[in-house]
Structure 1
């Protein structure tokens, strides 16, 4: 399995409509055929020193292979998401991992 975990820090001056646009667009990534499993979330209400809750949204995608991940990267739905929403975030941090 290949896991692609993306953390977004949205700009503080985004309007409610822009936030709705982001939520709809990031959720559309779940429809990409090469995605095996997907989840979009916000920081949980856990409170421990080792937990970073400073991000706005999390996108967790699981692929069956690196090839499926690579197909996702060039999928028109993903490219449209980046084109439509990259102006809404100030920071993105990605962690990719492969199963042992």
Structure 2
């Protein structure tokens, strides 16, 4: 298997507030999906916990997971201040109770 060139991987797990309506969830999903329009993102994925068997190492406590891969930290930094990203945060922050971010650099 060929190793990836050095990239920055950005993973955000979203823990939504309890009691959101289906409309609230659709609005959140639309906002989250809008991030794919940011050119600096080379790989983009939004998901929910997979329906796999529970194991001690599996954490399915989050509601949504965002995965973005960037060419480098500079592209990640552009993403952080991009108007689409800032708009998503402003319009959708009301839906989450917390987020956990994992940023890693490929080795």
**How many Å separate the matches in 1 of 2:82 and 2:20?**
26
Larger radius of gyration: 2
Displaced runs of 4 or more, over 3 A: none
Unpaired stretches in structure 2, ≥5 consecutive residues = 1-6
CA RMSD of aligned residues (A): 0.6
Unpaired stretches in structure 1, ≥5 consecutive residues = none
**How many Å separate the matches in 2 of 1:59 and 1:76?**
18
Instruction: Give the aligned partner of residue 30 of structure 1.
Output: 36
Instruction: Give the aligned partner of residue 61 of structure 1.
Output: 68
Alignment counterpart, residue 99 of structure 1, candidates 79, 103, 106: 106
- For these two proteins, the number of residue pairs brought into alignment is 100
- TM-score of the aligned structures, taking structure 2 as reference length: 0.92
**How many Å separate the matches in 1 of 2:55 and 2:36?**
30
The answer on 1:88 being equivalent to 2:95 is yes
